């Protein structure tokens, strides 16, 4: 994605402060020398803290997300997707639209894309002697998208590309990490679209033999220099995570099937 300084400055000022826009520009266009020495200086200690947050079992502080699941499900039953989409991103973008006002959607989506580019460019994969990096969807290469045969749209498996996937050496445990950059308050249960994303990734066929799948949403801040803020964790099979996202996916897949049938009827 090509992002110009003009694109960043054009973000809605009601949603993005001048300070945030400046931080975006600095992170995307700052001189490389500004970053290399900071990264070298902080890499060892930040890597250790990062793994503690990835694997720790302490609860995430803060309140649950402002939109409760019951409200989200009500909206899901009354808000069909704009198009049939067969990727995890299509599914989670539909969820994002459920709780973001239409008037703000385009600018907030653009902000997400900018933050995504910052994460891809600036956040490295952590290193651990016990965990092997098995897949890097942030590498900048045309990485493989994986099938999820238990989640189908019109008979076709959903496909997804996680950010980072690690396999623990000597076991069949898998760790899936979704990297997000945000200065917003971090809900104790994460954002609905991030929860759905990790839930879907937990069902990827390639890791169906895993004895346990750990799911982590890793949140980085950017306004005061790129910094790790918090990690939010689940385990595949968590009853609340499973039930809530299965309900949302059922709405999404039913809508997509009805849209597909309508298109087929028009075409005949």
DSSP 54-68: HH--PPPPSPPPSS-
List the one residue out of 156, 164, 147 whose CA is nearest residue 215: 164
Condensed to tens digits (0 to 9), the pLDDT of residues 3-57 reads 789 889 999 999 999 999 999 998 888 765 555 545 554 566 678 889 999 998 7
Read off the pLDDT of residues 186-236 as tens digits, 9 standing for 90 and up. Answer: 999 999 999 999 999 999 999 999 999 999 999 999 888 888 999 999 999
Q: Percent of the chain having pLDDT more than 90?
A: 68
Would you state the pLDDT for residue 32? 57
Integer Cα distance of 178 and 217 in angstroms: 5
227-235 vs 164-168, strand pairing mode: unpaired
Position 139 confidence tier, pLDDT thresholds 50, 70, 90: confident
∠ CA(191), CA(91), CA(227), 5° rounding?
Answer: 35
DSSP string across 142-199: -PPPEEEEEEEETTEEEEE--SEEEEETTS-EEEEEEEEE--SPPPTT--HHHHHHHH
Q: Looking at the predicted structure, is the pLDDT value of residue 266 above 70?
A: no
Residues 129-147, mean pLDDT to the nearest whole number: 87
User: Is 72 in contact with 99 (CB distance < 8 Å)?
Assistant: yes
Name the strand (E) or helix (H) holding 214. strand 212-221
How many angstroms separate the Cα of 3 from the Cα of each of 26, 29, 141, 186, 229?
13, 10, 18, 26, 25
204 SS3 class: coil
Looking at residues 250-264, what average pLDDT do you find? 76
pLDDT in the model for residue 262? 52
Is residue 265 over pLDDT 50? no
200 within 8 A of 148, measured Cβ to Cβ: yes
User: Is 117 within 8 Å of 138 (Cβ atoms)?
Assistant: no
pLDDT for 182 beyond 90: yes
pLDDT number for residue 2: 63
The pLDDT, as a whole number, for residue 255 is: 86
Q: Which residues contact 172 (CB under 8 A, 6 or more apart)?
A: 209, 210, 211, 212
Environment class of 201 (CB within 10 Å of its CB; exposed 0-12, middle 13-18, buried 19+): buried
Q: What is the DSSP letter of 124?
A: P
> Can you give the pLDDT at residue 268?
41
Phi, psi of 55, rounded to the nearest 5 degrees: -105, -10
Q: Residue written as tokens 């300070």?
A: 19
């Amino acid at each position: 994605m090509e992002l110009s300084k003009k694109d960043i400055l054009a973000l809605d000022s009601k949603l993005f402060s001048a300070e945030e826009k400046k931080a975006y520009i600095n992170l995307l266009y700052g001189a490389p020398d500004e970053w290399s020495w900071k990264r070298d200086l902080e890499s060892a200690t930040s890597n250790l803290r990062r793994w503690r947050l990835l694997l720790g079992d302490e609860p995430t502080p803060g309140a649950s997300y402002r939109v409760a699941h019951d409200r989200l499900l009500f909206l899901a039953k009354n808000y069909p997707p704009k198009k049939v989409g067969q990727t995890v991103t299509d599914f989670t973008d539909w969820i994002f639209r459920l709780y973001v006002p239409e008037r703000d959607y385009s600018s907030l989506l653009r902000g997400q894309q900018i933050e995504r580019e910052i994460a891809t460019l600036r956040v490295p994969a952590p290193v651990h002697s016990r965990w092997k990096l098995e897949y890097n969807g942030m590498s900048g290469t045309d990485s493989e998208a994986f099938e999820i045969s238990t989640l189908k749209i019109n008979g076709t498996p959903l496909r997804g590309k996680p950010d980072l996937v690690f396999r623990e050496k000597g076991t069949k445990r898998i760790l899936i990490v979704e990297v997000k950059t945000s200065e917003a308050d971090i809900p104790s249960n994460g954002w609905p679209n991030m929860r759905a994303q990790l839930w879907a990734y937990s069902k990827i066929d390639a890791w169906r033999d895993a004895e346990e799948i750990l799911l982590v949403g890793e949140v980085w801040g950017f306004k005061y220099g790129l910094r790790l803020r918090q990690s939010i964790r689940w385990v595949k099979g968590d009853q609340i995570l499973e039930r809530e996202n299965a309900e949302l996916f059922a709405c999404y897949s039913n809508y997509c099937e009805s849209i597909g049938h309508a298109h087929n009827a028009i075409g005949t």
